[in-house]
Amino acid sequence: MSVAGVRRAARESVSGLPRAFWWLWISTLVNRLGAFVATFMALYLTLDRGYSASYAGLVAALHGLGGVVSSLGAGVMTDRIGRRPTLLVAQTATALSVALLGFMRDPVAIAAVAFLVGMASNASRPAVQAMMADLVRPEDRVRAFSLNYWAVNLGFAISSAGAGFIAEYSYLAGFLIEALMTLVCAVVVFLRLPESKPVRSVEAAAREDGVGLGTVLRDGRFMGVVGLSFLIALIFQQASVGLPIAMGEAGFTPADYGMAIAVNGVLIVVLQIPVTRFIEHRDPGRLLVISSLLAGYGLGLTAFAGSVGVFALTVCVWTLAEIVNAPTQTGLVVRLSPVHGRGRYQGMYTMSWAVAALVAPLMAGFVIDRFGSVWLWGLCAVIGTVAGLGYGLLMRRLPQGATEAAVVETGDTGEKGDTVEALPGARAS
């Protein structure tokens, strides 16, 4: 492709999105530039504090449990009090709890504060996803989710490499830097982001009141996606839980892990936008099956890694799965969610990742301590195969309208031209 073609593709990738989306994008980027706890918590506990892999897994599981507790509550808050207030509360609480965690020394205190960090950090996700769906037109959402994911990984690529060296100097500095960057995100939200929750008519308010958590749980199609999302998340979580523990036990340093995992962020920064342009209008069912298999077998190949270079090659494989899976699955979740219940549906979807964050560390710690890391990577391959089969069956059962935005006219609009997506199987009113 010529230079002019590259420039034209870049312009088309970022054009047509509202200004508020870009402020949300900047907030995401700043947050990920300061990421430290989730990436290096396992190394901090095992190498710096001298705890076992099982204890590190327990703390990470409590972090995940905090996310499980907050996911549904944050989803309800997002629908009731709004996206912006939920974001402000979540980000401020995250900054304070992360800073506090850096000063904890007692193992019980570390575990308790890690739980609080998990609650606070996960509470912002339903609000971010709902706000993005509010701000962006249906036909631009896959592209918007892809750009947001690109920002996440641009920040991750930079912070992973830098944080690895910061960890060798001072883990406490890493905690404080993340706290400061999260506060900056809260300031951006406060100063630049408007509330995006659609203005409700009387009829819309009645519809929203009728969408409770029970409605979400009874939506079999959506819950099928949530269940498969949990399996995929269980695999990807091992990159930040099982992988650093396994590399540490094999004699690699935090900087080695930081350089290997930074490949993930770099590849997503380079490939996310062009790959999204390639897959944007392709069959989502096939994409989800392929990405599931790549994720499972990509982590499975880690069993054969014996150097930083080979570890980096395995990261390349499962990163491709992540690039394909993230915008495809997120777009499907939005399409299956009614606009007046977006927060609750996003909360349930977020909970699948939070539950995975709870289960994955326990699984990693138990399997590595009892059987060795090779068994963990083999288990990832099995889970990826099961997820791929599940997506194949689920997407075959979904009608065409479930994978295309079902746009209906409504009085429940946030701004001129806004549309509402009908929940498949439900009557559009």
The 3-state secondary structure of the chain, one letter per residue: CCHHHHHHHHHHHHCCCCHHHHHHHHHHHHHHHCCCHHHHHHHHHHHHCCCCHHHHHHHHHHHHHHHHHHHHHHHHHHHHCCHHHHHHHHHHHHHHHHHHHHCCCCHHHHHHHHHHHHHHHHCHHHHHHHHHHHHCCHHHHHHHHHHHHHHHHHHHHHHHHHHHHHHHHCHHHHHHHHHHHHHHHHHHHHHHCCCCCCCCCHHHHHHHHCCCHHHHHHCHHHHHHHHHHHHHHHHHHCCCCHHHHHHHHCCCCHHHHHHHHHHHHHHHHHHHHHHHHHHCCCCHHHHHHHHHHHHHHHHHHHHHCCCHHHHHHHHHHHHHHHHHHHHHHHHHHHHCCCHHHHHHHHHHHHHHHHHHHHHHHHHHHHHHHHCCHHHHHHHHHHHHHHHHHHHHHHHHHCCHHHCCCCEECCCCCCCCCCCEECCCCCCCC
CA dist., res. 217 & res. 231, Å (int): 18
Q: What is the pLDDT of residue 301?
A: 92
> So what CATH class is 19-197+211-421?
mainly alpha
CA dist., res. 207 & res. 402, Å (int): 20
Structure tokens at 348: 């349930």
Q: What is the pLDDT of residue 417?
A: 32
The residue ranges of every structural domain in the chain are 19-197+211-421
Could you count the other beta carbons within 10 Å of the beta carbon of residue 427? 6
pLDDT (tens digit, 0 to 9) for every residue of the chain, 429 residues total? 555 655 665 666 677 788 889 999 888 888 887 777 766 787 788 888 888 877 887 887 788 788 888 887 888 888 888 889 999 999 999 999 999 998 998 899 999 999 999 899 888 888 888 898 888 887 788 788 888 888 887 887 677 667 777 777 788 888 898 899 899 989 988 998 888 877 765 555 555 555 666 777 888 888 999 999 999 999 999 988 889 888 888 888 878 888 888 888 788 878 888 887 787 777 888 899 999 999 999 999 999 888 888 999 999 999 999 999 988 888 888 888 787 777 788 888 888 888 887 788 888 888 988 888 899 999 999 999 999 999 988 887 665 544 443 333 333 333 333 333 332 233 322
Q: What is the pLDDT of residue 350?
A: 82
Q: Is the pTM of the predicted complex or chain greater than 0.75?
A: no
Amino acid identity, position 18: P
Q: What is the pLDDT of residue 429?
A: 26
Could you count the other beta carbons within 10 Å of the beta carbon of residue 169? 9
- Positive or negative: CA dihedral 348, 352, 355, 357: negative
CA dist., res. 208 & res. 5, Å (int): 45
CA dist., res. 139 & res. 18, Å (int): 13
Q: What is the pLDDT of residue 379?
A: 95
Q: What is the pLDDT of residue 201?
A: 55
Q: What is the pLDDT of residue 6?
A: 53
- Positive or negative: CA dihedral 350, 338, 79, 35: positive
Beta carbons within 8 Å of 193's beta carbon, 6+ residues apart: 20, 23, 24, 27, 84, 87, 131
Give the CA angle between residues 99, 100, 105 to the nearest 5°: 120
Q: What are 53-107's pLDDT values in tens digits? A: 778 878 877 887 888 888 878 888 888 888 899 999 999 999 999 999 989 988 9
